[in-house]
Structure 1
Amino acid sequence: MSIYFKKEETVRTFLLSFLFFSLIVLSIIYNSGYVSDNKSLGFILAYIRLFFAFVCFLLSSDKVFNSFRNIFLVLIPLILLFLSFRVINFNEMIFAFLVFPAVNVLGINRMLRIDLFARTFSFFVVILFFRILKTSTFFYGSGRMKPSLGFSNPNTLGEIALVIACELFILRKEINKFVFYGLNIFIFIIIFISGARTSIYMYILFILLQIFMENTTFFKKNTTAKRLVISGLPFYLFMISIYVVYRYTYFANNFLIKIDYILSGRLRYTSYYFSEYKLNAFPTNIGLTNASKIGPLDPGYISLLERDGLIICCIFLLYLSITIFKLCDNKYRKYISSFIIFIFIGLSESTFYVLSINIFLLYLAVILKNSENENRRTISSRSKLE
C-alpha cells in the first residue's frame, strides 16, 4: 500500500492529504489512555486537531461556496456546532463537517487510503508505546477482563480496529494481498482481545452486508420507495432508543433489566440523564462529574439528543438519512455497508458521530451539489471503481 502524488496534482491536493493524514494520526493518539488522563495535553491536542480540520475546510471551501445550497448545507450545522462550544466546551462532531468537503477535492478512495495508512500507523504506535504509559483493564459483569492496550477503553480499541478492517475490505483490490490478509488476521485478533462485543457483531454484519451488496440484484433495481425505507434507518433507531430508555426509566421490568445487564448498565446510566435533564432545543452541559459518579452517557442517539440538543440532533440524523439515500445508488454500493454499521453502533456508542472513530462520516460529501465531472471525481478519485 503506497501513497504517492502525480506531478500534475496541485499543491492544494498535497497539503490537504498531509493535513488529513496528520489529523488522523493526532486523533488516534488523542484517544489513547495516556492523553485521556492528561487533560492539559488533551486540550492542546484537541485544538491542534481543530486547527488542522479548519485548514482542510479552507482549502476545500470552493466546493462549498460554489452554490447557495452547499453553503446552507455546510455552514448552518457548522455555525450551530461552533456555538455549542460555549456550552459543552468542545464538540467532536464539528470535525465531520469541517473535513467532508475535502472529499470533493481528493476523492473518497484516496481519503480512505490515507486514513487507512495513518490509522494503522498510529494504531501500532499506541499499542506498542502508549500501552507502557497507560493501559486500562476493565472487568465486566461476566467476569471477563478486557484490556485497552494503551487506548482510553477497550471499546475505543475495538472500534478503531473495526474501521481498519472495513477499510481493508473496501480497498482490497488496491492493496497487496499479503498486507491485506496479514492485517486482517492481526485486526481480528485485536478485536477479539478487546472483548468489544459491539465491534465484533458489527464486523460480522459488515461482511454479511458487503457480500449481500456485491452479489445480489437488490440495489441494481433501485426504486425511490426502497431507498426511502432504507434511508429512514437513523430515525428508526433513534425512536427505538428513546422508547427503550423511556420504558426502562418509568416502567422497568425483568426483561429490560436483563437487557441492561447485557448492555453493561447502559440503560441504567442513560435513564439517569434521561430523567435528570430536560429535553432542550440547544446543547446542554451534562457534566463530567455525573459521568464519573453515575456512569457515562454511552448510547449515541440519546447522547446526541441530551448533549447537543434537538436542533443539532435532527439536522445530523437528517444528513445521515440523505447520505444513505444517495449511497443506495449502484455507483456507491461498496461504501454503504460501512456507513450503515455505524448507524447501528449509535445504539450503544456515542462515537458514531465522531470522525476520528467513524471515518465513514466522510460519505456526507454526497449531499453536496457538484458538476457531473466533480461527482465522478469525488467517488473514483481518478481511479476506476470495481
Structure 2
Amino acid sequence: MTMKRGNRRRFLLLFFATTGVLTYRILSRDFVQYDGNADCTVFDKIIQLSDNQKSDGFSSIISTYCHCDAPAVVVCDGDPYSTITENKINLVDQSVTRKTNTKDWTFLVYMAADNDLGRFATNNIKQMATVGSNAQINILIQLDISVSGGRKITRRYYVEKGHILHFNASDAQSQQMDSGSPKTLILFCIWAITEFPAEYYVLILWNHGTGILDLNKGRIINAIELFIFNTAINRFELNCNIGFFDFINVVNQKDEQRGICWDDSTGNYINNKVLDYALETIKNKLLGSNKFDIIELDACFMSMLEIANIIKKHAHIMVGSQEVELGTGWNYFLVLTSFDQQTLEPLDFGKHIVKAYQYTYHQITND
C-alpha cells in the first residue's frame, strides 16, 4: 500500500443526501462546502454522483446481489443467534480467542440494537456474511440486543463467508453489556484491535443518532414561548411575563439527549461529549495516538459540522447521513463486496461506501 498513517494530514467528511451525494472536505478548522450541483461530477478528486448517474461496476454488483441466493440469519427460540444454519450460515462457538496475522483492514461494527432497530440487525449481519472476512479484511461485530422475554444479550462475532464465529461464549462479563456506555465501546475496541490487528481500522456505530438535535427539547428555543400574539393589532410581541434568562434557565433544566447508541434496557446512550472521550481513549490506548482511518455512523443526523468537529480529532475520514436514514440502514453487502478480490485505500473505501448507499436507495420512489 502506498498510503501510510504519517502521510495523512486532512480530515474528510463524506455523507449522504436524499437526492444525490454531497461531498465535504474539511481542512484543519476551515469548513469548505462544495456545491451539490448534479452537473458536477468531480470535486478535488472526490467523486460525486447524481441519482441518475451510473458508477463503474455497481450495475453488475446490484444485479448480482438482487439475484443471488443470499444466506439468511434465522431468528431462533429466544436467541436469534443461538442456531444459525439456514442457507449455510453457521454459528460456531469460538471460545478461545484466536489471533490472526495483520491484515489490511479491520472492520469494527458496534451494533447497538437493544431498541426498536433490533429487527434490522439480522439482515445487516446476513449482508456481511455474504462477503465475509478474507485475506484483506477482518469483519467484527459486537451485537447488543434484547431477545424474547426481555432478556438482554451481547455477542462478539467474527464474520466469515457463510460462518459467524461466536467469540465471547465463555466470557460471562461480556454477555450482558450496556451499549449506551462508553466503557462498552472501549472494551469492544480493545478486544477487536488487540486480537485482529490491521494496517487500517474502520469503526461503525450502528444505532439511532440525533447529531446536535435534542429530541427531548425539540427546538432549544421555541419562538412561540418567547412571543405572544396581540389580537388587537394582529402582531407578535415579546412576552415580558418571564425574563429571557429565566426562560433559558428553565429550558436548561431539561436533560439533554444528543448522541448515539441508545440502549433501551438500561436507558443510557452515548452523548456527544462522552463519544469524544471514548474515541480519545481508544486512540491513545490502542492506536498509539493515531486516528481511526474511517469512522462511519450508520445512524440518523450524525453528519453535522458540530459532530464532524468531534470526529476529526479521532478519524481521518467520516461517513454518515445528515438526514434521517431508513431503519434498514446500510447495505453491507455492497459496502464490503469491493474487498472480495482486492483491498482499498481509505479514501477509496470512503467513496465506495457513499456510492453503495446511493445505489441502495436512489430508486426508492418514482419521484
TM-score (norm 2): 0.25
The structure carrying a bigger helix percent of its residues is: 1
Larger radius of gyration: 2
Higher strand share: 2
